[in-house]
A and B are shown apart, each in its own frame.
Chain A
């Protein structure tokens, strides 16, 4: 069955006037990444590591535009010190984080960072929202974008592994 929520989330990002999409690829973000590359008003920026996207978003904001960071929970740890940039400078940050290590995970290496992701982000002072069901994805992202850009705070939306679907493992 084709999932529609990634397209709904993309529309929410468009309505939020996102112009730069920094990403470290994840299967759960594949559709969003594809849409971002195809959109003439957006610049999709493939990153080598997630903290690059925090700095990219800060630069975009300094230049008067809005960015989003797409990443997987395994990359959250890479971002921690770089979060001092939006936190100190009182800048917005919008990150969409696909969760691993929580729902039917086959790969034990995903479990430590996945389990710690919400607590680590909250401890750093990032506003954390969570999406469990497809029908709430777009409205949660829209609300998170409003919070991030209007109240100028860092916000992470965690897209649960149940939502994106546990990765199939071929033995």
Chain B
């Protein structure tokens, strides 16, 4: 499969535009930097490790907070390491969880080696095969605004075909305890009725 053309920073800025109280979990590596570049906020929970775990953190969060929207933002390599999570999530089918996979067909952190998606593995088709009802693949910038709306409304897995670029790193805090405590504090503030 040829590489995508979308600019990853443009994609993530569009998907996280006007986040409100959206709960965001990012997979390690570039997805975490992209979310930080779009604007650090306490309701972003960044993984700096625990590869393969982003989608499942999203599931636990979505089940715990059924009235809130959860978006997992991760890369193809991180999603491939936790493929079973797609089956596990499909069984639970929470309607408040969406996943956006930034797919450049590369392991970007480690020397840009080709990942399985560069050789034809199709994460949207895999999700469909696991029982997800709603999946899509997006390759054009014009599709980003409608996609943002869908990701905040549907139980959708979206694969975004991004270019294999390596933009400058934007590093959010990496102290896990800090990230955990500020997330819970912000969640409890935003859950308080006005």
Contact = CB atoms under 8 A, between A and B. Distances in A.
A52 B83 CA distance: 10
Interface residues of B, number: 37
B105 interface: no
Contacts of B85: 48, 52, 55
B142 interface: no
| Interface majority SS (helix, strand, loop, mixed), chain B | helix
B59 interface: yes
Nearest to B64: A63
A49 to B, nearest CB: 5
Given A55-B57, A89-B177, A84 B64 contact: no
Interface in A76-91: 81-82, 84-85, 88-91
Size category of the A interface is 20 to 34
B149 interface: no
Contact of B64 (A54, A59, A85, A89): A59
Contacts of B124: none
A88 B52 CA distance: 16
Interface stretch (A6-14, A39-47, A94-102): A39-47
Contact of B60 (A46, A67, A84, A89): A67
Contact of B180 (A49, A57, A62): A62
Interface of A: 19-20, 43, 45-49, 51-65, 67, 81-82, 84-85, 88-91
Given A19-B64, A52-B84, A59-B59, 11 more contacts: A48-B85, A52-B53, A52-B85, A55-B57, A55-B85, A59-B56, A62-B57, A81-B50, A82-B53, A85-B47, A85-B49
